[in-house]
Amino acid sequence: MKKQFKNIVNLLFKTPVIIGVLMFFASCENDIKKVQELTAKQDSAIVSARNIEMYYTTNGINNILMKAPLLNRYVQDKGKSQLEFPEGMDLTFYNQEGSITSTIRADYSIYYEDEGRWIAKFNVVATNEKGETLNTEYLIWLQNEKKIMSDQFVKINTADGIFYGDGFESDQTFSSWELVNMRGTINIQENE
């Protein structure tokens, strides 16, 4: 009787464990494609920094000052990296003498380091030393080509008037610009 009781107790304890182990192995699925997709994505930043100020220099001269409340650096497949500024950023461009030539600010920006390409989005404002101001929701800065551009609606305020376009292109200092499908209002002074 004691042996029978021992066998029943063993059976009661071992059976759920065996069933659990079998269910665990039966539920495992190793779809190689899914595993590769999950491991290929870099969803978390490898570097994150708050309240940053970065200077870009050429031959010891500060050309650009970048400020941002938050910077996240990601590395994608094939080692390509990008810097994301989810809380916005401010860029200030300087000439050889150290004077400010232009500024760009946006509520969101991303920089593709390997391409030298910045994308600024949401409440993008650019100004130049002539006091002209550009407003748009989307701006591309090609750092290596020293150009800024957009293929979306833009508004430029100047001393001569307000101009609108469905895109624009300019040098990175925003001193020489062209609008696509330009329209606007020109201020004319009357002679007395």
Q: Which fold has domain 45-186?
A: lipopolysaccharide transport protein A fold (2.60.450)
User: Buried b vs exposed e over 98-109: b needs ≥16 C-beta within 10 Å?
Assistant: eeebbbbbbbbb
Helix (H) or strand (E) holding 85: strand 81-85
Q: What is the mean pLDDT of the chain?
A: 80
What 8-state DSSP symbol labels residue 189? P
Residues paired with 50 in a beta bridge: 70
- What would the mean pLDDT of 6-17 be, rounded to a whole number? 56
Is residue 141 within 8 Å of 117, Cβ to Cβ?
A: yes
Per-residue pLDDT tens digits for 82-116:
889 999 999 888 888 888 888 889 999 999 888 88
- Amino acid present at 166: D
Ordered by start, the domain boundaries in the chain are 2-30, 45-186
Does the structure show a pLDDT above 90 at 31? no
Residue 178 pairs in a beta bridge with 169
User: How much is the pLDDT for 30?
Assistant: 57
> Is the pLDDT assigned to residue 119 strictly greater than 80?
yes
Q: What does the alpha-carbon distance between residue 172 and residue 74 come to, in Å, rounded to a whole number?
A: 25
In this prediction the pTM is: 0.68
Give residue-wise pLDDT tens across range 133-151.
Answer: 999 999 998 888 889 899 9
Q: Reply yes or no on whether the pLDDT at 75 is more than 90.
A: no
